[in-house]
């Protein structure tokens, strides 16, 4: 119970109250209402001002000074949104009474708890899925994921940390709860905190507490939960979410255990290097230059969420892929249909979240009205789809929901107000009781309207007026010249300079009648609304189903739109392992600059491609475009190529570009080797492996040796489809001894003016290294270039490594056909040459083995 600050004696009462509330919510940042502001003090003020870039001031009370930072109450939402995005948990303490005297301490209470993974309020939610995750151990990692904004609740069991990270990266939870055993593991925690906002929640992970929460939520417990770690995590997620959402989570109706191996395995590194969701270059956060940015032509929020989900979970079975492709193709072929469908979808609200709000009892009249407008489009949509083979299935899965639509339309006014407690929601003629109340109020009002004329006639006061104000209610107003005509039984209410206001018992009585009828009408409206909401909520599951069908349709239409807009073609899947891409392009790069298409042909008999060429030639782009084409094909999308036939891959691995993991304390080389190890261990003959510049982070010879060995291993043992881009020309010798390896290069030509890049991939190895040329293009000073050239020459002259001839002799050597003596002599010769050569330690080992 301390507060950072300076001073003597006890804290002033206001700060004491602050500290008390703050300490009651130790993991939260407390926003403390003081009049028109939410304030923070002490250390929290420092954190708060840093997080939001606010000026830090100081609060001086009596003889105590403490840092202070605050934001206006009316604009708090923007700030809350930013805090949640940064992973803060926020508790909001409001004043529960008006401040009367300045020195009296008003009562304050925490009225809202907000955490990144449990927000429900529309204006604080990002449009993407918003997962709260929990993780515990015990026979693997149990991972549970809950999105309370839609009610989606799922989980899986993962073995091994890298599988865990990959899975988490695919779902990108807004908040992760770690079980105590993981939270207390400093190394694990640190690794985690670099990736996600991490919280600890002791309570839910205690088996009994979590289980009780699950049992209260589901009867019977879903069979999918039958795994100790999974059950613990699911229990923890639910307990934690319930603590924040005090009214329960009725929108969470089922738990699904998913099997990661039912999908193509995409690692965290692969999603990053392929820039599926985010550009990898630091500083550029725009989504435009990502796959999602290019393909994201969806028209609805659920559609967008589904597309994101599909991109991280490509399929590995052909039948469902062909079904998706059929749907896309139908929409590609019929432009009118596509346009119509997308037009209708554009008018749809976020049905998925509306359904969740309905179930949670949080839907407003505006929500119902939005629901009604959206649902009323369903018949039109179903009609559009009915005629189209592959889409008919969708139309059949689309519930009609006509009753709900009509029910809402009959009950609610056209544009209901935001607040549901002030009336003005329900249509005339819907509820007889409400109509009677309204009628009574109306009668009173017309009696009063008539009063003016009646009293003028009776009293002969010509300018007598009936008016209304908030303080006195209805009154009769008489100007000074006519005071004498005022009847005796009128009661004076108010005297102004030149006029007086009066009331009469009858007028008071009518006023009371109106007021009472109006109050009752508002109450009745609220009751009618609640009943309506309840009724509509009965159909929430169907609304959800409609939302899912529409999301799917939206994705098909978006993929079709992209296919037509960018000229994609329908991919084919080969059973014999043929990979044939004609005129393939990079879907993102081609959007921003003219692009030169390239072909690729591989098969189980030609599965390792050594790609050489100068820097900047386009090697890395070629690798990425190949991966993206494979990924898109297995999402069910058309692909950027004239023709693409591909095997179904089980994984795509990429090791492209070096990035230092400085925060993790690992060097570029370490990261590289880590990733390489993962690939060599995990890849199968059905995997696509892309390697770019392996061994760059270490000395040339080390690097070459590693690259060489990795290639051999991939070719001989793993047998994966491998594209290997390298600047080690020595590796172009590999295809000489490996039957399934091929050389290719990206063409460039030296011309008078320097190096010309053609970005064209051709068979065979590149002819020379262009490093110095690229350096020249980049504008390195002449002196440096000249010196580099002479160093290069002397290096080449003095190079003591194996000459090309000897290397080739070695590679061609076929021990089976060589006599033992010949072989021995050759090995001797070779060993002599190798001795003292760091570069070919690998070679020396191999030689000494026989
Ligand atoms: P490398 O890996 O060989 O160093 P990159 O793949 O990084 O080269 O490509 C270098 C530059 O050339 C990039 O700016 C890229 O956009 C462009 N580029 C690559 N391939 C093509 C292509 N096929 N058509 C047009 N531009 C390309």
* Closest by Cα among 359, 360, 358, 344 to 398: 344
* pLDDT-derived band at 728, boundaries 50, 70, 90: confident
Measured in whole angstroms, the distance separating CA 427 from the mean position of its chain's CA atoms is 40
pLDDT for res 621: 93
Of the listed ranges 70-84, 91-105, 213-227, the one predicted with least confidence:
91-105
From the CA of 757, give the closest atom in ligand 1: 12
Q: What is the mean pLDDT of residues 52-64?
A: 83
Name which residue leads in pLDDT, 6 or 429: 429
Name which residue leads in pLDDT, 815 or 328: 328
For ligand 1, pick from 658, 759, 771, 773 the residue to mutate: most ligand atoms within 8 Å of CB.
759
Predicted confidence (pLDDT) at residue 798 exceeds the cutoff of 60: no
Where does ligand 1 bind, in terms of residues with CB under 6 Å? 589, 595-596, 598, 613, 615-621, 759
Q: What is the mean pLDDT of residues 85-94?
A: 90
Q: How far apart are CA 223 and CA 826, in angstroms?
A: 66
* pLDDT-derived band at 697, boundaries 50, 70, 90: low
Q: In which residue are the tokens 């329908």 written?
A: 570
From the CA of 760, give the closest atom in ligand 1: 23
Counting residues of the chain whose pLDDT is more than 90, the rounded percentage is 46
Token digits of residue 759? 């970005």
* Closest by Cα among 774, 748, 786, 743 to 617: 748
Q: How far apart are CA 764 and CA 762, in angstroms?
A: 7
- What are the tens digits of pLDDT across the range 604-657? 999 999 998 888 889 999 999 999 999 999 999 999 999 999 999 999 999 886
608 forms beta bridges with 722, 741
Helix 389-397, helix 540-566: angle, nearest 10: 160
From the CA of 589, give the closest atom in ligand 1: 16
Q: How far apart are CA 129 and CA 75, in angstroms?
A: 25
* Closest by Cα among 210, 134, 131 to 172: 131
Alpha helices in 200-244 (DSSP H): 202-205, 207-217, 228-244
Sign, CA torsion 465/468/474/477: negative
Q: How far is the CA of 592 from the centre of ligand 1 (A)?
A: 12
Task: Determine which residue's CA is closest to atom 11 belonging to ligand 1.
Answer: 616
Task: Determine which residue's CA is closest to atom 17 belonging to ligand 1.
Answer: 618
Q: What is the mean pLDDT of residues 526-534?
A: 94
pLDDT for res 261: 82
* pLDDT-derived band at 846, boundaries 50, 70, 90: very low
Q: How far is the CA of 162 from the centre of ligand 1 (A)?
A: 30
Task: Determine which residue's CA is closest to atom 26 belonging to ligand 1.
Answer: 595
Give the pairing type, strands 651-655 and 687-692.
Answer: parallel
Q: What is the mean pLDDT of residues 452-459?
A: 89
Q: How far is the CA of 265 from the centre of ligand 1 (A)?
A: 27
Q: How far apart are CA 143 and CA 134, in angstroms?
A: 6
Q: What is the mean pLDDT of residues 811-833?
A: 61
- CA distances (Å), origin 225, targets 118, 175, 209, 235, 624: 21, 21, 15, 10, 39
- Maximum Cα–Cα distance for the chain, whole Å? 142
Task: Determine which residue's CA is closest to atom 23 belonging to ligand 1.
Answer: 596
* Closest by Cα among 344, 299, 497, 531 to 426: 531
Q: In which residue are the tokens 């009781």 written?
A: 433
Q: What is the mean pLDDT of residues 556-565?
A: 97
136 forms beta bridges with 142
Q: What is the mean pLDDT of residues 182-192?
A: 87
Predicted confidence (pLDDT) at residue 150 exceeds the cutoff of 70: yes
Alpha helices in 567-618 (DSSP H): 589-592
* pLDDT-derived band at 830, boundaries 50, 70, 90: low
From the CA of 597, give the closest atom in ligand 1: 23
pLDDT for res 807: 58
Name which residue leads in pLDDT, 322 or 174: 322
Q: How far is the CA of 768 from the centre of ligand 1 (A)?
A: 18
Q: How far apart are CA 668 and CA 649, in angstroms?
A: 28
Sign, CA torsion 794/795/801/804: negative
From the CA of 585, give the closest atom in ligand 1: 23
Q: How far is the CA of 581 from the centre of ligand 1 (A)?
A: 18
Predicted confidence (pLDDT) at residue 282 exceeds the cutoff of 60: no
Q: What pTM was computed for the model?
A: 0.81
Predicted confidence (pLDDT) at residue 343 exceeds the cutoff of 90: yes
Average pLDDT, the chain: 85
Token digits of residue 668? 């570029």
pLDDT for res 376: 94
pLDDT for res 800: 46
* Closest by Cα among 720, 647, 639 to 687: 720
For ligand 1, pick from 274, 612, 618, 758 the residue to mutate: most ligand atoms within 8 Å of CB.
618
From the CA of 725, give the closest atom in ligand 1: 2
Q: How far apart are CA 668 and CA 659, in angstroms?
A: 6
Task: Determine which residue's CA is closest to atom 14 belonging to ligand 1.
Answer: 616
Task: Determine which residue's CA is closest to atom 9 belonging to ligand 1.
Answer: 618
Torsion angle (degrees, nearest 10) of CA 226, 229, 234, 240: 150
Alpha helices in 261-388 (DSSP H): 268-273, 291-295, 301-312, 318-333, 335-346, 351-359, 365-375, 378-386
Helix 42-52, helix 76-85: angle, nearest 10: 90
Query: What is the radius of gyration, based on Cα positions, of the chain?
Result: 36
- CA distances (Å), origin 637, targets 170, 244, 492, 550, 576: 19, 40, 80, 17, 22
Token digits of residue 306? 């589904």
pLDDT for res 438: 92
pLDDT for res 843: 39
Q: How far is the CA of 586 from the centre of ligand 1 (A)?
A: 10
pLDDT for res 104: 75
Measured in whole angstroms, the distance separating CA 826 from the mean position of its chain's CA atoms is 61
* Closest by Cα among 534, 532, 544, 473 to 502: 473
Token digits of residue 626? 């190949």
Q: Specify which of 124-138, 282-296, 654-668 reaches the highest per-range mean pLDDT.
A: 124-138
Task: Determine which residue's CA is closest to atom 20 belonging to ligand 1.
Answer: 618
From the CA of 613, give the closest atom in ligand 1: 3
- What are the tens digits of pLDDT across the range 9-18? 778 888 889 9
Q: How far apart are CA 723 and CA 689, in angstroms?
A: 6
Q: Specify which of 375-389, 468-482, 581-595 reaches the highest per-range mean pLDDT.
A: 581-595
Q: How far is the CA of 86 from the centre of ligand 1 (A)?
A: 35
Helix 820-834, helix 841-848: angle, nearest 10: 150
Q: What is the mean pLDDT of residues 825-847?
A: 50
* Closest by Cα among 191, 128, 170, 134 to 268: 170
For ligand 1, pick from 595, 598, 616 the residue to mutate: most ligand atoms within 8 Å of CB.
616
Measured in whole angstroms, the distance separating CA 254 from the mean position of its chain's CA atoms is 22
Of the listed ranges 254-263, 421-430, 556-565, 812-821, the one predicted with least confidence:
812-821
Q: How far apart are CA 427 and CA 431, in angstroms?
A: 8
pLDDT for res 235: 93
Q: Is 57 helix (H, G, I), strand (E, B) or coil?
A: strand
pLDDT for res 589: 94
Q: What is the mean pLDDT of residues 520-545?
A: 93
Q: How far is the CA of 741 from the centre of ligand 1 (A)?
A: 23
Q: Is the separation of the CB atoms in 720 and 683 below 8 Å?
A: yes
Q: How far is the CA of 475 from the centre of ligand 1 (A)?
A: 82
Q: How far apart are CA 371 and CA 551, in angstroms?
A: 15
Strand arrangement, sheet containing 598-602:
572-573, 643-646, 579-584, 598-602
Q: How far apart are CA 415 and CA 744, in angstroms?
A: 65
Q: Is 850 helix (H, G, I), strand (E, B) or coil?
A: coil
Token digits of residue 582? 């004609």
Predicted confidence (pLDDT) at residue 471 exceeds the cutoff of 90: no
Q: Is the separation of the CB atoms in 95 and 37 below 8 Å?
A: no
Of the listed ranges 161-165, 258-262, 283-287, 632-636, the one predicted with least confidence:
283-287
From the CA of 614, give the closest atom in ligand 1: 3
Q: Identify each DSSP E strand in 698-817 by its residue range.
A: 721-725, 741-751, 754-763
Q: Is 846 helix (H, G, I), strand (E, B) or coil?
A: helix
Task: Determine which residue's CA is closest to atom 18 belonging to ligand 1.
Answer: 618
- What are the tens digits of pLDDT across the range 24-50? 988 899 999 998 999 999 999 998 999
* pLDDT-derived band at 660, boundaries 50, 70, 90: very low
Name which residue leads in pLDDT, 238 or 748: 238
Alpha helices in 601-699 (DSSP H): 619-635, 668-682
Q: What is the mean pLDDT of residues 234-243?
A: 92
Ramachandran region, residue 41 (left: φ > 0; alpha: ψ -120 to 50; beta: rest): beta
Token digits of residue 271? 């999603």
Ramachandran region, residue 107 (left: φ > 0; alpha: ψ -120 to 50; beta: rest): beta
* Closest by Cα among 724, 725, 713, 719 to 740: 719
pLDDT for res 840: 35
From the CA of 624, give the closest atom in ligand 1: 6
Q: Is 747 helix (H, G, I), strand (E, B) or coil?
A: strand
For ligand 1, pick from 611, 621, 748 the residue to mutate: most ligand atoms within 8 Å of CB.
621
* pLDDT-derived band at 839, boundaries 50, 70, 90: very low
Counting residues of the chain whose pLDDT is more than 70, the rounded percentage is 86
Q: What is the mean pLDDT of residues 65-88?
A: 90
Q: How far is the CA of 589 from the centre of ligand 1 (A)?
A: 9
27 Cβ contact partners less than 8 Å away, ≥ 6 residues apart = 89, 199, 200
Predicted confidence (pLDDT) at residue 269 exceeds the cutoff of 50: yes
């Amino acid at each position: 119970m301390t507060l950072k600050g300076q001073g003597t004696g006890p804290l002033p009462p206001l700060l004491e109250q602050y500290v008390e509330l703050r300490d009651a919510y130790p993991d939260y940042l407390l926003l403390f209402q003081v009049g028109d502001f939410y304030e923070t003090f002490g250390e929290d003020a420092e954190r708060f001002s840093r997080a939001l870039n606010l000026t830090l001031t100081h609060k001086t009370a009596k003889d105590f000074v403490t840092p202070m930072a605050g934001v206006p109450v009316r604009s708090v939402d923007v700030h809350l949104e930013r805090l949640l995005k940064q992973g803060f948990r926020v508790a909001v303490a409001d004043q529960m009474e008006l401040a009367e005297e300045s020195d009296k301490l008003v009562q304050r209470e925490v009225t809202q708890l907000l955490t990144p993974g449990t927000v429900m309020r529309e204006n604080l939610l990002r449009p993407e899925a918003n997962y709260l995750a929990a993780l515990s151990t015990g026979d693997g990692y149990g991972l549970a994921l809950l999105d309370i904004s839609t009610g989606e609740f799922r989980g899986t069991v993962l073995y091994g940390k890298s599988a865990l990270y990959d899975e988490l990266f695919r779902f990108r939870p807004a908040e992760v709860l770690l079980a105590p055993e993981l939270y207390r593991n400093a190394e694990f925690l640190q690794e985690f905190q670099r990736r996600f906002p991490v919280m600890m929640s002791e309570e839910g992970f205690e088996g009994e507490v979590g289980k009780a929460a699950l049992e209260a939520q589901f009867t019977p417990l879903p069979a999918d939960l039958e795994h100790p770690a999974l059950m613990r995590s699911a229990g923890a997620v639910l307990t934690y979410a319930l603590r924040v959402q005090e009214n329960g989570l009725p929108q969470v109706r089922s738990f699904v255990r998913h099997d990661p191996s039912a999908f193509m395995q995409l690692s965290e590194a692969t999603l990053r290097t392929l820039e599926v969701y985010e550009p990898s270059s630091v500083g550029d956060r725009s989504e435009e230059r990502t796959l999602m940015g290019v393909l994201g032509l969806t028209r609805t929020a659920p559609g967008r969420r589904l597309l994101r989900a599909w991109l991280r979970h490509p399929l590995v079975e052909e039948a469902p892929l062909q079904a998706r492709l059929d749907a896309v193709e139908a929409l590609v072929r019929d432009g009118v249909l596509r346009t119509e469908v997308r037009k209708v979808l554009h008018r749809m609200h976020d049905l998925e979240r509306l359904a969740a709000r309905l179930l949670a009892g949080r839907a407003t009249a505006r929500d119902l009205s939005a629901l009604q407008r959206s649902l009323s489009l369903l018949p039109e949509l179903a009609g559009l789809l009915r005629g189209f083979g592959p889409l008919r299935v969708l139309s059949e899965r689309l519930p009609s929901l006509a009753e709900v639509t009509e029910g809402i339309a009959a009950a609610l006014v056209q544009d209901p107000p935001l607040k549901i407690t002030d009336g003005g929601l329900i249509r005339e003629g819907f509820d007889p009781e409400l109509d009677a109340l309204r009628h009574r109020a109306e009668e009173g009002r017309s009696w009063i309207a008539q009063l003016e004329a009646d009293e003028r006639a009776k009293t002969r006061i010509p300018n007598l007026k009936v008016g209304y104000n908030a303080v006195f209610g209805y009154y009769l107003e008489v100007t000074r010249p006519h005071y004498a005509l005022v009847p005796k039984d009128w009661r004076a209410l108010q005297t102004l300079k030149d006029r007086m206001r009066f009331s009469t018992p009858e007028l008071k009585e009518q006023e009371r009648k109106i007021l009472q009828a109006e109050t009752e009408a508002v109450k009745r409206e609220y009751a009618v609304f609640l009943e309506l909401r309840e009724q509509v909520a009965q159909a929430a599951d169907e609304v959800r189903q409609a939302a899912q069908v529409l999301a799917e349709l939206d994705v098909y239409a978006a993929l079709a739109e992209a296919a037509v807009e960018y000229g994609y073609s329908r991919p084919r899947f080969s059973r014999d392992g043929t990979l044939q891409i004609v005129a393939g392009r990079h879907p993102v790069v081609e959007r921003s600059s003219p692009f030169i298409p390239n072909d690729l042909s591989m098969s189980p008999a030609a599965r390792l491609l050594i790609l050489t060429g100068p820097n900047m030639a386009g090697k890395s782009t070629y690798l990425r475009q190949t991966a993206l084409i494979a990924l898109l094909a297995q999402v069910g999308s058309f692909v950027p190529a004239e023709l693409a036939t591909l095997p179904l891959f089980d994984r795509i691995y990429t090791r492209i570009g070096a990035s230092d993991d400085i925060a993790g304390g690992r060097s570029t080389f370490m990261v590289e080797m880590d990733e390489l190890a993962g690939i060599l261990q995990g890849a199968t003959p059905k995997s696509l492996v892309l390697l770019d510049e392996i061994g760059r982070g270490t000395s040339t010879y080390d690097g070459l040796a590693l690259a060489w060995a990795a290639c051999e291993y991939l070719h001989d043992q793993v047998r994966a489809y491998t594209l290997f881009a390298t600047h080690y020309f020595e590796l172009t010798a590999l295809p000489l001894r490996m039957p399934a390896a091929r050389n290719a290069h990206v063409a460039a030509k030296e011309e008078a003016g320097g190096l010309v890049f053609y970005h064209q991939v051709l068979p065979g190895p590149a002819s020379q290294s262009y490093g110095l040329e690229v350096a020249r293009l980049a504008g390195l000073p002449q002196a440096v270039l000249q010196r580099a050239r002479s160093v290069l020459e002397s290096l080449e002259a003095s190079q003591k490594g194996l000459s090309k001839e000897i290397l080739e002799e070695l590679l061609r050597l076929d021990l089976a056909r060589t006599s033992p003596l010949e072989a021995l002599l050759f090995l001797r010769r070779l060993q002599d040459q190798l001795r003292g050569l760091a570069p070919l330690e690998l070679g020396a080992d191999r030689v000494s083995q026989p």
